[in-house]
Amino acid sequence: MTHTTPVTSSSSFVHTTLTTLPLPPRTGAITALAWSEDNTHLAAVSASGMLVIWQARSGSCLLQQRITRSRLCAVAWSQQGRSVLLGSAHGTFSVFHLTTRTLVHSTTFADPVTQIVRSPNVVDARFFVRSGAALHLFTQGQAEPRTVRYSTPLVDACWTPDGQSLALVCADGLVEVCDARTWRVLWRHADVLSTALRVTWDATGGRLALGMADGTVQMHDLRTGHGSPPLPLSRFPIQSLRWGERYLVAGSEAEVTFWNDAQALAHRQQTRTLPAFTFDSDGAILATAWPHAIALTTLA
């Protein structure tokens, strides 16, 4: 069922729920979400080690399978959509083949695998695995990943929209943008007043948003080298940050906040637990994992 809910605010804000994907029984708390490359399917992993896949348009659940008894923390699709990539709290990186419904490859790292993200560049088939203080960059055709290590654990990383560079944040507040081929540092930032916790790019790849420990978001225009005044979005540390086509979405332990590009707070949604959420590849549909269902919504 599709319905539109207007929200009173300082700017025009409407969110439309396209569909709701019910969580199958015994799924557990959803920890990560990932859209397929063509935006037709959504994969989710849970704290109880479950993998669930839905057909997004119909809302039908195509797969529910326990992969491990440990917590799954990360999920991504392979480039062809034939497999999903999984990361666990025990440091296991696995490839799950959808046709046979079996694990076809597993590698164990020293630290939990907390993030897996495939490059948006369809020509260069790459993806990274974040684990502890290391970023492992996998490239199709190469037997071993390129591993880059930092002095403190990595807390977030993301690709530029063209898939040529990576932005990453370390636990000590260091933020770097590096060329994915050469690992040459293109930009570096460290704020002495508040530590950066999350990072995301706008659709143009020109602006970088940093979610800070003091609940603000800092914008940096890498084309001009200028930064904007901190934007207060929460009373609590920003623990999740995604930039879609129209809105920047920031999550903290108390709320999910939507912010539009006119620098006006559009809507604030209270929550008791921080939900997992992610935009599709077009930045148009937001998938949000609530306790009993996944909501697919558009923001206008």
Q: What is the pLDDT of residues 264-288, one digit of tens each?
A: 555 667 777 788 999 999 999 999 9
Task: Kindly report the CATH number that applies to the domain delimited by 31-118.
Answer: 2.40.128.630
Q: What is the DSSP letter of 230?
A: P
Beta bridge partners of 34: 43
What single-letter amino acid sits at 143?
A: A
Token look-up 């109880």 returns 48
Q: What is the pTM of this model?
A: 0.91
The continuous run of DSSP H or E covering 92 comes out as strand 92-97
Q: What is the pLDDT of residues 27-60, one digit of tens each?
A: 999 999 999 999 999 999 999 999 999 999 999 9
Domain boundaries, the chain: 31-118
